[in-house]
Amino acid sequence: MRDDVKRAMHAASRFALPRPPTFVVPYGNGLIHVTYRVDVETAGGRRRFLLQRIHRGVFHDVASLMRNVERVLGHLHARDATREDEPPYPALVRTADGEAWLDEKGSAWRMMSYVEGATSIDRAPTPRQAGQIGHAFGRLLNDLRSLSPSDLTPVLPGYRNTERYLNDLERAAAEDVRGRRRSARVEIARLRAGREAALILRRLWRTGTLTTGVVHGDTKLNNVLFDPRGENALCAIDFDTVGSGLLLHDIGDCVRDLLVGTAVSRGELTKDDVTAFEALVRGFMQGMGTPLLRPELDHIVDAAVSIALELAARFLTDDLRGDVYFRAHRGRENRNRAREHLHLVDLLEADRARLDAAVHRAFESC
C-alpha cells in the first residue's frame, strides 16, 4: 500500500465511523484537495464515505474554513428538514473526538457522507443535464438566500478579485523564478490585452450596477451530483468557497466550465453548445425561483469571458511559479489550461450575438 494511502487509512480510522475502515482508494480528480473513498463493512452491508486531505497551502486557516462549512451545512440541513420534495445535501462526519476536522501531524483531514449511486459529469453534458446542473446551483443559491455573508469568514482573501490575479501574473512574470517567462510571452501579452474585458464585473460592482450576496463560488460541472442514470441532478456540493460574491461569478464560471473542454477542442461553438448554454441559464433561474435582473441578463457572456480570463491568468501565474497552487500531473499542464481558457474567450467573443439571444430566450421561457 502506498504511503499516501496508508496515511489516509490512518486518518480515516480517527473519524466516528460505524466500523473501522476496510478499504481506502484515491477518488476523483480535483485540482486542490486530495480525495479518497473510504469503505466500511457493517452488518447491514458496505457503507462508503469521502475523506479529503485539505490543501493547507491554499486554505491556511482550516479552522475558519471548517466553521464555514459547518454553518453552510447546518443551514442547508435545516432547509432539508422542512421539505420532502428535494434530495438532501451531504453531511459532515465528525472525528471520534467530535471535531469537524482532524489535524494529523500537520495534515488537515475531513470526511463527508457518500451519496450512494450518485455520479457526476466532467464534460459535455446534454442540454437536459446542463439544465439540471444550472437548476442544482440555482436551488443552492435559493437555499442560501437567508444566510448572511457576515456569518461566514473569508478564508480565501481576494478570491474572485480579478484585478488581483492579473497583478499576480505581472509579478510572477517579473520575478520569473522558473525561467518560463520567455516561452509564455504570447499568453502574457494576450492577458494584458484582455485586461479591460476581464475587469468588467468588478467595474459593474464598484458602480453599484451589480450587488453581492451569498454564492457558491466554484460552480464546476462536477460539483453537482446526479442520480445513477445521470439524468436528474440531486444537489450541488463542495462548500469551501461559499461566501460573499456576485451571482454572475457563479453563472459565468459554470458557463466557462460547460464550454472550455469540448468547444475548445472543436474550435467552435456548435448549435448543441448554444442549446446547452441556454438550458444552463434557464436552469439557474428556475432553481433560484426568480428571474435574473436586467444588468445580470445583459452581462452573462461578459461574465463567462471575465472568468475565463481570470482562470487563464491564475493558471499561467502558477505555471510561471512552478505549479505550486493547482496540481499538475503532466509537464506544462497549467500552461495548457491557460491556453484553453484564452481560446474559449475567442470563441465566446466570436459568438456573442448568438449567446445573448439564447440568454433572452431562457429569460422569456421562465
Q: Give the CATH number for residue 265.
A: 3.90.1200.10
215 shares its domain with 324? yes
Alpha carbon distance 157, 159 (integer Å): 6
From 59, 84, 113, give the residue that closes a domain.
Answer: 113
Question: How far are the Cα atoms of 128, 158, 193, 220, 314 from residue 161, in angstroms, in the given order?
Answer: 32, 5, 18, 18, 11
From 86, 113, 140, give the residue that closes a domain.
Answer: 113
Q: Give the CATH number for residue 83.
A: 3.30.200.20
179 shares its domain with 324? yes
Contact 312, 345 (CB under 8 A): yes
Alpha carbon distance 161, 1 (integer Å): 42
- Which pLDDT does position 157 carry in this prediction? 87
Contact 337, 315 (CB under 8 A): yes
Question: For residue 94, with 0-12 CB atoms within 10 Å meaning exposed, 13-18 middle and 19 or more buried, which class applies?
Answer: middle
Note whether residue 188 is domain-resident.
yes
**Contacts of 160 by beta carbon, 8 Å cutoff, 6+ apart:** 217, 245, 246, 249, 310
Q: Which amino acid is at 46?
A: R
- Which pLDDT does position 147 carry in this prediction? 93
Note whether residue 306 is domain-resident.
yes
279 shares its domain with 147? yes
Contact 149, 243 (CB under 8 A): yes
Alpha carbon distance 26, 37 (integer Å): 6
- Which pLDDT does position 304 carry in this prediction? 98
275 shares its domain with 153? yes
Question: How far are the Cα atoms of 40, 181, 357 from residue 153, in angstroms, in the given order?
Answer: 34, 36, 38
Note whether residue 118 is domain-resident.
no
- Segments of the chain scoring below 70 in pLDDT: 1, 31
Question: How far are the Cα atoms of 106, 115, 140, 219, 287 from residue 228, in angstroms, in the given order?
Answer: 37, 10, 21, 21, 21
Sign of CA dihedral 334, 336, 341, 345: positive
Note whether residue 119 is domain-resident.
no
169 shares its domain with 66? no
Render pLDDT for 232-271 as a digit per residue (tens, 0 to 9).
Answer: 999 999 999 999 999 999 999 999 999 998 878 888 899 9
Alpha carbon distance 63, 178 (integer Å): 33
201 shares its domain with 325? yes
315 shares its domain with 190? yes
Note whether residue 120 is domain-resident.
no
Residue 293 C-alpha from the chain's centroid: 23
84 shares its domain with 233? no
Note whether residue 13 is domain-resident.
yes
Residues linked to residue 50 through DSSP beta bridges, in sequence order: 37, 112
Domain that holds residue 254: 127-365
66 shares its domain with 197? no
Nearest to 213 by CA among 157, 256, 151, 302: 151
Under DSSP, the state recorded for 120 is: -
253 shares its domain with 339? yes
231 shares its domain with 357? yes
From 113, 147, 181, give the residue that closes a domain.
Answer: 113
172 shares its domain with 309? yes
Q: Please give the tally of structural domains in the chain.
A: 2
